[in-house]
Amino acid sequence: MSVELIGSEKTVQSVFNDRYIDMYEKSHNRTDKLQNLKRRGSEGKTGQQVVEVHFPDGKLNNLSVCQMIHLYYNAEIVNCDRLIIKHDGGHKEIIHRRLLNVCEAHNGNWFAASNVICMIGNDQRRPDAGAWFQWLSYDELHEPIKNCCIPPDLWFEVFYNKDPDQENALEKIDMVQRDLDAIFNIEFVAIALPDERSPFRGNPNPETISILANQTGQNTRPYLAPYLIHWNANNIPVYYIISWNRHIVLRCGVILHFNIILDIISKP
């Protein structure tokens, strides 16, 4: 097993602590400690830290091991050999909740939740926030891996405009789109937050009525955040600058006001 850690040294120590090592050893009847951990660190905010662990020979193709990992960590498992652990900060968590509130206000019959494990083939993925137009079954909610919980109809990812957080979110969407092509019709939205040490500028006209946002017309992602990516029905990304008093209307009918994002990151 090789481990690649992306984040501060403090995060390295807190994630791969004795509890995780003991958990891994017990699940594999191991007696030796994990050794030769390959570490790569870079300073950054808690909200943008990602830890990736590589397990050889599909060792993660074990339901009990996967369930135990998910008990402790906000983790995703890809190809039965990649364990991805994220550490979301308060800004992202609050935005997740705001997005869920918008979905539930649009349709009270939807099931809207954050970080629900859903199965994409053999991959165990967690949308940052998602809305299912029909409620999931009891079995899917109770044991999502065993009962192959389906992905949401509306899938949100929120990331800082800096790798590895950005790379992880966009790679996830790309992989899910390819794996589910012509199987599920999922609407994807990605929200990029600025990686700054000071708050975003406040609303200069808080009494202004929100108007429809314009597309950037670019074929590439904006350089500066905050911005939003909305994949159209052909899975082609469309870019928007997230500005005060603007909104977009998603294909499912949800009206997403940019102010609910800016209100969070502009607080001192």
Average confidence (pLDDT) per 10 residues, the chain, 268 residues: 44 42 47 33 46 82 88 89 88 97 98 96 95 98 95 98 92 94 90 95 96 95 97 96 99 99 97
Secondary structure of residue 129 in the 3-state scheme: strand
Q: What is the pLDDT of residue 107?
A: 98
Give domain limits for the chain: 2-87, 90-265
Residue 109's Cβ-count burial label (10 Å; 0-12, 13-18, 19+) is: exposed
DSSP SS3 for 265: helix
Q: 180-211 b/e with 16+ CB inside 10 Å = b?
A: eeeeeebbbbbbbbbbeeeebeeeeeeeeeee
Annotation: CATH topology of 90-265: tt1808, chain A (3.90.1570)
Helix (H, G, I), strand (E, B) or coil at 37: coil
Residue 167 three-state SS: helix
The whole-number pLDDT of residue 58 equals 73
